[in-house]
């Protein structure tokens, strides 16, 4: 690319952001999984500036720590007291000097605010190019807004149309307030001309601050060329000063991201309720149903269906899988696997091909082998399940003894009976069965049937004796009388007993793969 490179980009991010009413510094508030500052850094880095400077102040420790994570090369410069955007720029230039960095004065310098998350690299590129083409000392990015309240207004000579300066909303007279062309707070400057003007700023305004915007009128008065570039899309320059603007910016970023995926061949059923973070990757022909959030480093392969009502963070979904009404994080869903509805997938969960986690299942650190199923109402934690196994409804892997977590291993083609408790650490061998309602505390060898529960006994006639006159007793009596003559059934003819023959545990109903 032969586009010009700026000597530096200065990001102003020291302000308090009072109107956010937040303990979190304004520029660390997030949109689409990325901080406001992160969005700005992403856009300015496309210019490949020689130096990246961020002016920090309010919440500086948090901002500096965040910066180290997202832009390690950035130089953070402290503005201890915030005396305005002009003051912030002076501090930035002093910070560069103090760091022993000599700016290339022949290359332009770009200034952006840390609170304009919709700004794009293309617009910055255009600003830079116009600045160079017009040989300007300062160039401002402007936009025409329906409602310009709060923004600085761009003043132009009525005859030549040239920019003559910028007046802040608070300082503007009614005629100036009627101007709808506003200052975006993004500029390109000639370094030397900027330095000269910064030295002449005063605090002679309604806010008692040094305004960076005054640099333009100072340049005009000095006879230096000043230019303006209009943003192609006025939305791009939206500054986030309060939570209402944050919400508005968030919806615009959402629309931008969704549109990108729609154009690349992803079906998004209801874009208004679909929230996809910046770093998520979707393949063609996956389907995102309504009310779905895809966050962090989530990826969705072709043919997969996600949603409705699903939120996934850092989840890898393979081809043809379906994930319905699910909350998930830190997991891998294999090809053709099915999850949901009402499923909670926690970190470390990995489903192999065609595995299943069904309704009301919670999984944590669970590896589920190919074709294995946990169809209903279960907790599976710290467990490895082999291939082709079925975990009956309401099974719980009892992984925690109150002090430590323990691991469970379940082999291939195992049948765990409904309502089994598998008390870890325990190993269930290949092809083994457990009887429904068992509490399994010892390993089960391959092919064995484990029965670990009390035997059933029926106390005959109990209801008629102990619940005399109740509806149950009446029903019991009617059943006894109607079956008494002719062909008495064993149940009604035998006397009360303390026990009866146990069912073959092998006939205990199991939850076989459903549907
Ligand atoms: C500023 C512009 C205004 C423009 C608007 C665009 C000035 C005087 N006004 O107003 O013309 O329409 O942006 O959004 O520049 N900051 C510092 N140190 C300071 C003061 C501010 O780093 O001492 C940073 C803030 O953190 C913020 C940016 O500069 O990121 C802009 O400051 P802000 O107070 O939001 O300015 P606006 O009133 O929005
Ligand atoms: Ca602002």
- Per-residue pLDDT tens digits for 27-77: 999 999 999 999 999 999 999 999 999 999 999 999 999 999 999 999 999
So what's the pLDDT on residue 59? 95
Q: Enumerate residues 6+ apart whose C-beta is below 8 A from 114.
A: 11, 12, 13, 26, 27, 36, 37, 40, 54
Q: Minimum-distance ligand to the CA of 142? A: 1
Residue 17 Cα to ligand 1 midpoint, Å, equals: 10
Dihedral angle sign, alpha carbons of residues 161, 163, 164, 166: positive
Q: For residue 50, give Cα distances in angstroms to 73, 109, 120, 129.
A: 10, 10, 19, 17
Residue 501 pLDDT grade (very low, low, confident, very high; cuts 50, 70, 90): very low
Check residue 4 and give its pLDDT.
81
Q: Are 214 and 196 in contact (CB under 8 A)?
A: no
- Distance between Cα 135 and ligand 2 center (Å): 28
pLDDT score, position 510: 45
Q: How far is the CA of 115 from the centre of ligand 2 (A)?
A: 6
Residue 294 CB coordination number (10 Å):
28
Sign of the Cα torsion 256, 258, 260, 263 reads negative
What distances in angstroms separate CA 335 from CA 112, 279, 295, 306, 330, one per listed residue?
Answer: 45, 22, 20, 13, 17
Tell me: pLDDT of 186 over 50.
yes
500 has a pLDDT exceeding 50:
no
Name the residue of 9, 10, 15 to mutate for ligand 1: max ligand atoms within 8 A of Cβ. Answer: 15
DSSP structure class, residue 456: P
Question: What pairs with residue 76 in β-bridges?
Answer: 54
Q: How many whole angstroms separate alpha carbon 269 and alpha carbon 255?
A: 13
Distance CA 310, CA 293 (A): 6
Determine the pLDDT at residue 232: 87
CA 224 to chain centre: 47
Ligand closest to 208 (CA) is 1
Distance 140 CA to ligand 1 centre (A): 14
d(CA 502, CA 399): 30
Determine the Cα–Cα distance for residues 420 and 394; give it in Å rounded to an integer.
Answer: 7
Tell me if residue 74 falls in helix, strand or coil.
coil
Q: What share of the chain is helix, strand, coil (3-state, %, to 5)?
A: 25, 30, 45
Instruction: Using the atom order of ligand 1, give the atom closest to the CA of residue 87.
Output: 23
Give exposure, 136-155, as e/b (b: 16+ Cβ within 10 Å): bbbbbbbbebeebeebbbbb
> Per-residue pLDDT for 379 more than 80?
yes
Under the banding of pLDDT at 50, 70 and 90, the label for residue 508 is: very low
Is residue 497 scored above 60 in pLDDT? no
Taking the CB of residue 400, how many other CB atoms lie within 10 A of it?
Answer: 12
Please determine, for residue 499, whether its predicted confidence score (pLDDT) is greater than 80.
no
**Using one digit for the tens of pLDDT, what is the confidence trace for 457-469?**
999 999 999 999 9
pTM listed for this prediction? 0.89
Cβ count within 10 A of residue 27: 32
- Mean pLDDT over residues 405-414, rounded? 97
pLDDT at 503 over 50: no
How far apart are the C-alpha atoms of 419 and 290, rounded to whole Å? Answer: 34
pLDDT at position 485, please? Answer: 67
Question: Is residue 509 over pLDDT 90?
Answer: no
Residue 514 has pLDDT above 70, yes or no: no
Closest C-alpha residue for ligand 1 atom 11 = 152
Distance CA(279)–CA(508), nearest Å, equals: 49
Q: Are 185 and 142 within 8 A, CB to CB?
A: no
pLDDT digits (tens, 9 = 90+) for 343-366: 999 999 999 999 999 999 999 999
Average pLDDT for 176-189: 97
Ligand 1 nearest atom to the CA of residue 207, by list position: 8
Q: How far apart are CA 308 and CA 288, in angstroms?
A: 8
Closest CA to 349 of 398, 375, 310, 382: 382
Q: pLDDT category, 493, cuts 50, 70, 90?
A: very low
Q: Quote the Cα angle for 283-288-289, to 5°.
A: 165
Categorize the per-residue pLDDT at 486 as very low, low, confident or very high, splitting at 50, 70 and 90.
low
Residue 169 CA: which ligand is closest? 1
pLDDT averaged over the chain?
94
Instruction: Set out the domains of the chain in order of their start, with CATH numbers.
Output: 8-237 (3.90.550.10), 266-450 (2.160.10.10)
pLDDT at position 476: 97
Q: Nearest ligand, CA of residue 212?
A: 1
Please indicate whether residue 58 is annotated as part of the active site.
no
Atom of ligand 1 nearest to the CA of 184: 6
The answer, yes or no, to whether residue 339 has pLDDT greater than 60, is yes
**Can you name the residues that pair with 322 across neighbouring β-strands?**
305, 338
Give me the catalytic one of 39, 131, 376, 413.
Answer: 376
Using CA atoms, how far apart are residues 432 and 93, in angstroms rounded to an integer? 73
Q: Which of 239, 242, 248, 249 to mutate to test the pocket of ligand 1 (most atoms within 8 A of CB)?
A: 239
**Closest ligand 1 atom, residue 166 Cα:** 11
Q: Which ligand 1 atom is nearest residue 16's CA?
A: 26
The answer to whether residue 219 scores a pLDDT higher than 90 is yes
Nearest CA to ligand 1 atom 16: 15
Q: Report how far residue 238's alpha carbon sits from residue 228's, in angstroms, rounded to the nearest whole number.
A: 17
Q: At what angle do helices 36-45 and 121-133 cross, to 10 degrees?
A: 50
State in Å: Cα 256 to ligand 2 middle: 22
pLDDT at position 1 is 45
Average pLDDT score over residue span 231-252: 95
Q: Whose CA is nearest to atom 28 of ligand 1?
A: 113
pLDDT for 98: 97
Query: Which residue ranges have their beta carbon within 6 Å of ligand 1?
Result: 12-15, 55, 79, 82-85, 87-88, 113-115, 151-152, 166, 168, 182-185, 211-213, 239, 241
Question: For residue 482, what are the contacts with CB-CB under 8 A and spacing of at least 6?
Answer: none
User: Is residue 245 scored above 90 in pLDDT?
Assistant: yes
State what percent of residues in the chain have pLDDT above 70.
93
Closest-lying ligand 1 atom to the alpha carbon of residue 88: 18
Rounded CA separation 112/6 (Å): 13
In angstroms, the CA 382 to CA 257 distance is 36
Helix axes 60-70, 36-45, angle to 10 degrees: 40
Q: Which residue, 147, 148, 156, 151, is CA-closest to 168?
A: 151
| Averaged pLDDT for residues 282-306 | 98
Region 284-294: mean pLDDT is 98
**Residues 200, 161 contacting (CB under 8 angstroms):** no
For helices 85-98 and 191-198, angle between their N-to-C axes, nearest 10 degrees: 120
Q: Which value, to the nearest 10 degrees, does the dihedral of the CA atoms of residues 16, 17, 22, 23 take?
A: -20
Looking at per-residue pLDDT, the higher value among 440 and 3 belongs to 440
CA 13 to ligand 2 centroid distance, Å: 10
CA of 124 to the centre of ligand 2 (A): 18
């Amino acid at each position: 690319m032969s586009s010009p490179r700026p000597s530096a980009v200065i990001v102003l991010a020291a302000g308090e952001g009072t109107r956010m009413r937040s303990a979190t510094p304004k520029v660390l508030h997030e949109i689409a999984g990325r901080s406001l500052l992160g969005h700005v850094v992403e856009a300015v880095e496309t210019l490949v500036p020689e130096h990246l400077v961020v002016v920090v102040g309010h919440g500086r420790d948090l901002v500096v720590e965040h910066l180290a994570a997202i832009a390690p090369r950035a130089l953070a410069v402290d503005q201890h007291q915030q005396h305005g955007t002009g003051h912030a720029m002076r501090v930035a230039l002093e910070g560069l000097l103090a760091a022993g960095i000599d700016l290339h004065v022949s290359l332009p310098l770009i200034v952006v605010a840390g609170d304009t998350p919709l700004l794009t690299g293309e617009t910055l590129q255009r600003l830079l190019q116009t600045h160079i083409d017009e040989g300007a000392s300062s160039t401002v990015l402007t936009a025409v807004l329906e409602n310009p309240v709060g923004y600085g207004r761009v003043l132009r000579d009525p005859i030549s149309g040239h920019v003559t300066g910028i007046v802040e909303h608070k300082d503007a007279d009614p005629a100036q307030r009627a101007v709808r062309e506003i200052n975006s707070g993004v500029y390109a400057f000639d370094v030397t001309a900027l330095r000269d003007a910064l030295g002449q700023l005063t605090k002679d305004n309604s806010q008692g601050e040094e305004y960076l915007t005054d640099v333009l009128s100072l340049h005009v008065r000095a006879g230096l060329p000043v230019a303006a570039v209009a943003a192609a899309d006025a939305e791009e320059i939206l500054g986030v000063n309060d939570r209402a603007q944050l919400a508005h910016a968030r919806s615009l970023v959402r629309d931008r991201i969704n549109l990108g995926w729609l154009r690349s061949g992803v079906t998004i059923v209801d874009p208004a309720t679909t929230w996809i973070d910046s770093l998520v990757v979707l393949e063609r022909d996956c389907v995102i149903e309504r009310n779905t959030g895809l966050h962090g480093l989530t990826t969705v392969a072709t043919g997969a269906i996600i949603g409705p009502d699903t939120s996934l963070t850092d989840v890898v979904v393979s081809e043809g899988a379906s994930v319905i009404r699910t909350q998930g994080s830190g997991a891998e869903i294999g090809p053709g696997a099915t999850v949901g509805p009402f499923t909670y997938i926690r970190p470390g969960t990995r489903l192999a091909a065609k595995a299943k986690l069904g309704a009301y299942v919670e999984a944590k650190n669970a590896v589920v082998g190919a074709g294995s199923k946990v169809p209903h109402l279960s907790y599976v934690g710290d467990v490895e399940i082999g291939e082709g196994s079925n975990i009956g409804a309401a099974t719980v892997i009892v992984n925690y003894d109150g002090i430590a977590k323990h691991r469970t291993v379940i082999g291939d083609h195992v049948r765990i009976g409904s309502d089994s408790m598998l008390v870890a650490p325990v190993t269930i061998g290949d092809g083994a069965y457990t009887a429904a309602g068992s509490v399994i505390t010892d390993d089960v060898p391959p092919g064995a049937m484990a029965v670990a529960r009390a035997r059933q006994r029926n106390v005959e006639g109990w209801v008629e004796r102990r619940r005399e006159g109740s509806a149950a007793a009446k029903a019991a009596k009617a059943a006894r009388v109607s079956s008494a003559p002719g062909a008495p059934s064993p149940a009604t003819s035998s006397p009360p007993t303390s026990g009866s023959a146990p069912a073959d545990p092998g006939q205990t109903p199991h939850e076989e793969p459903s549907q």
